[in-house]
Structure 1
């Protein structure tokens, strides 16, 4: 991910390729001159992301981790107090888990529409908005045709699709901020790049490291004072969050940052040997880590490697690949959403630096489109064209009929995919999760969850747990089509 020797010294500002494009008024951060087709593209992507995520939620395929947690967080903000999540534990202070005060921005919308669906709509809007600065830069530097292809390939990229297809996450706020910051940086507007980057400190604690790399690139381009200040702010923000704020709120207190303490490695060691393994050979093994890198770079035909902007991806890649959790390594879930604007900004920057035009530019664009189309069916946006996505299992109506019997404000334990259906009006935690609030007023369990989706209990463990509940004072209020609703006797 290193720049060529010619690039690494001064990183010269990018120029428009024609006076006509310059007169078009395409501000790289979208202040003016946005053509109608870009609005249409962003609107179509917003509709696709929103439809996908809402449809999954309607089919009861959203999860306690993470839609249920984030709705409880935003519901707390909307009620005017610091965020807690019952899914994480009784009155669990989530600012001891992750530092993401940017979520408070969703609270006004939640007060108008108190539903988990508002989180999904906001996320879709944030992701779709990020296409505008990237497409504007591509249009100004490479022409409208290139901008359209790059905008579509970015909007359909697998990292964005996975995020839209898996609940809601705070890092959606980072996507437009990163896009605007990197476009400004690529167009030699260091102050704008810094101003767009600094709010990342309020999105998630590790993004301060990303801000620091942006500061390094600003300094490398010549504005050393601003670059150093930005880098110091990024490092300081991450240190403050991890060493002060998170421990202060974390119920266990002694942990500086619980997510960095996850253990496990291919080497089977612990302590210093484990750490050394993780930051060396462990960064590229096992195989899912290399697969993730290939999938990230393939849509750019690996041309993104020629841009220094790709360095901004390093902090996210390092913490993910050094993690002991296998879920961080691969292409699943939402973890790659912040990487997509970085990779495509680097792609545009590399095309501009190479002064790619004519047949060469068309080859890159055709190649990018072909790889995007090849990858697309493997990821969630493809569900929009599958008939089963538009069929609703009759059991969904049964589940809602039984859930309607649970009064507002009740304490509940529920199966994983029932939790987000109840977070807007009850105090709900996850059934079978060790940190769930004990002795809830109601328990609702789906005993017919497919084997690959059942969690955290196995089928046998769940049956034993329900039988135990019946011996401990609960009675069966309803049982229908695999759903069991228990309430306390009397």
Structure 2
């Protein structure tokens, strides 16, 4: 059977399918000149992401889960060790938690600047870089004005803002990889699409299923052998990570996150539970419907008209079928990987439709309006809030007390204090059952608001501090709600 021709509607204007195949080698890169305004856009977004992330960290609003964990991971790599995280447990091997060896790429930068802020800057850089391929694709097919609008809407989209505004996450590396891969697939450079997809296997164990969908898309577009091989590698990668590598490193000998796919009541689930999850359970409760609408809204739902949207299916399915409620909503980093897919599908759909100038203006105006309407509800809006730039005098107190703790000491600290200490001490989470027992130091912020207090409530925390004082610890300092204890021996 003859392979179907590449759809001319998805190719850049002025370039034939044969010409696209001629540049299908990913090592040759794009020959399009990048205009100054696109560099300016990428730079402005990098500055915004970096400023927001660093300001949150400087205000001590970052957390043990996840910035503290990832700081310890990268610190391990930077010192030539397999990654461990004291936050997860004493010498906990993180390759038994999530398969994310791509984090080792941050190690050289961490050696130069050993602080959790390095991770935040790297995250800002890779997310900002993802704007380049999508905007260049839109410029080639829709023109510079349309590309500028799409680039801004993508860069300010709520899914990106949610992730950037909440610590650091390994999924950040998937965002540019997806943007480059889908741009290549959408423009007919299928070998390049497979090339950019393969490193997703090193970002997180679930992304192998996304690679499977990219492989199917490549096969559907004409390169059947390449597509089948790509899909097979993705499937084998996920199975190898979840069934072999993660259980081998995990202290419990299993992949812990499989629990999120079990019956919400705690059982193993049966056929009825499976049927429920695959049908009505995907759209109930209403939070799930809201999230689906929010994901598609920036594209005015045009993304659904592109076959590229199928690539979002694995991420959408595991999130909607999970029994962890935070997976269902629009907070945190869980929509990081959906945004490049949605906007790639948006560009693809517009390229296929070839709308008139007036229609294109309406689509872009609608996308921009939705982006601006949603923007104040998500973290990037903090950049224009006065409270973001006000210095809390308690921060100086906390810094002074942390300076009393020597390097390489064992510490238990409140969640917001953990990532302030992980770059130079062995830090775990105070009140967390799996934390290293009997640390040399304890530092607790007793004034944390109830909505941010975790893992202990106020009463439990006070009782545990009183027990520590009555047993092995004495008070070094108690000031502005911060309590610093040291072990007597």
SS of the aligned residue for 1:434 comes to coil
CA contact (8 A) 1:267 1:277 kept: no
The gaps in structure 1 that reach 5 residues or longer are 1-8
Runs of 4+ in 1 over 4 A off after TM superposition: 26-31, 263-270
CA contact (8 A) 2:11 2:188 kept: no
CA contact (8 A) 2:264 2:323 kept: no
Q: Does 1:379 align with 2:375?
A: no
Following TM superposition, by how much is the alpha carbon of 1:357 offset from its aligned partner in structure 2, in angstroms?
2.9
Following TM superposition, by how much is the alpha carbon of 1:280 offset from its aligned partner in structure 2, in angstroms?
2.1
Partner of 1:54 in structure 2?
54
Partner of 1:299 in structure 2?
298
CA contact (8 A) 2:11 2:186 kept: no
Partner of 2:448 in structure 1?
449
State the distance in 2 between where 1:471 and 1:369 align.
60
| Aligned partner of 2:11 among 4, 15, 22 | 15
Partner of 1:346 in structure 2?
345
* Alpha-carbon RMSD: 1.8
Partner of 1:3 in structure 2?
none
For residues 25-40 of structure 1, what are the structure 2 equivalents within 5 Å?
Answer: 30-40=30-40
State the distance in 1 between where 2:305 and 2:263 align.
32
State the distance in 2 between where 1:362 and 1:86 align.
52
CA contact (8 A) 2:201 2:238 kept: yes
Following TM superposition, by how much is the alpha carbon of 1:356 offset from its aligned partner in structure 2, in angstroms?
1.6
State the distance in 1 between where 2:105 and 2:267 align.
42
CA contact (8 A) 1:213 1:231 kept: yes
Q: Does 1:279 align with 2:275?
A: no
For residues 121-270 of structure 1, what are the structure 2 equivalents within 5 Å?
Answer: 121-253=121-253, 255=254, 257-262=255-260, 270=268
1:23-61 superposed Cα distances (whole Å, 9 cap, x missing partner): xxx999655400000000000000000000000000000
SS of the aligned residue for 1:244 comes to helix
Q: Does 1:334 align with 2:333?
A: yes
Following TM superposition, by how much is the alpha carbon of 1:18 offset from its aligned partner in structure 2, in angstroms?
5.3
1:262-284 superposed Cα distances (whole Å, 9 cap, x missing partner): 26667886421333322221111
CA contact (8 A) 2:263 2:269 kept: no
The gaps in structure 2 that reach 5 residues or longer are none
Question: How many residues are paired up?
Answer: 476
Partner of 1:5 in structure 2?
none
Following TM superposition, by how much is the alpha carbon of 1:165 offset from its aligned partner in structure 2, in angstroms?
0.3
CA contact (8 A) 1:201 1:208 kept: yes
State the distance in 1 between where 2:217 and 2:431 align.
48
State the distance in 2 between where 1:168 and 1:174 align.
13
- In structure 2, the CA distance between the partners of 1:10 and 1:292, relative to structure 1 (3 Å rule), is farther
TM-score (normalised: structure 1): 0.94
1:97-139 superposed Cα distances (whole Å, 9 cap, x missing partner): 0000000000000000000000000000000000000000000
Partner of 2:323 in structure 1?
324
For residues 23-102 of structure 1, what are the structure 2 equivalents within 5 Å?
Answer: 30-102=30-102
CA contact (8 A) 1:68 1:87 kept: yes
State the distance in 2 between where 1:425 and 1:34 align.
41
SS of the aligned residue for 1:452 comes to helix
CA contact (8 A) 1:266 1:282 kept: no
Following TM superposition, by how much is the alpha carbon of 1:261 offset from its aligned partner in structure 2, in angstroms?
1.6
CA contact (8 A) 1:307 1:347 kept: yes
CA contact (8 A) 1:265 1:278 kept: no
Following TM superposition, by how much is the alpha carbon of 1:11 offset from its aligned partner in structure 2, in angstroms?
5.9
Following TM superposition, by how much is the alpha carbon of 1:287 offset from its aligned partner in structure 2, in angstroms?
1.1
CA contact (8 A) 1:161 1:381 kept: yes
State the distance in 2 between where 1:51 and 1:31 align.
32
CA contact (8 A) 2:63 2:416 kept: yes
CA contact (8 A) 1:96 1:251 kept: yes
State the distance in 2 between where 1:10 and 1:142 align.
22
Partner of 1:393 in structure 2?
392
State the distance in 2 between where 1:51 and 1:225 align.
45
State the distance in 1 between where 2:32 and 2:140 align.
12
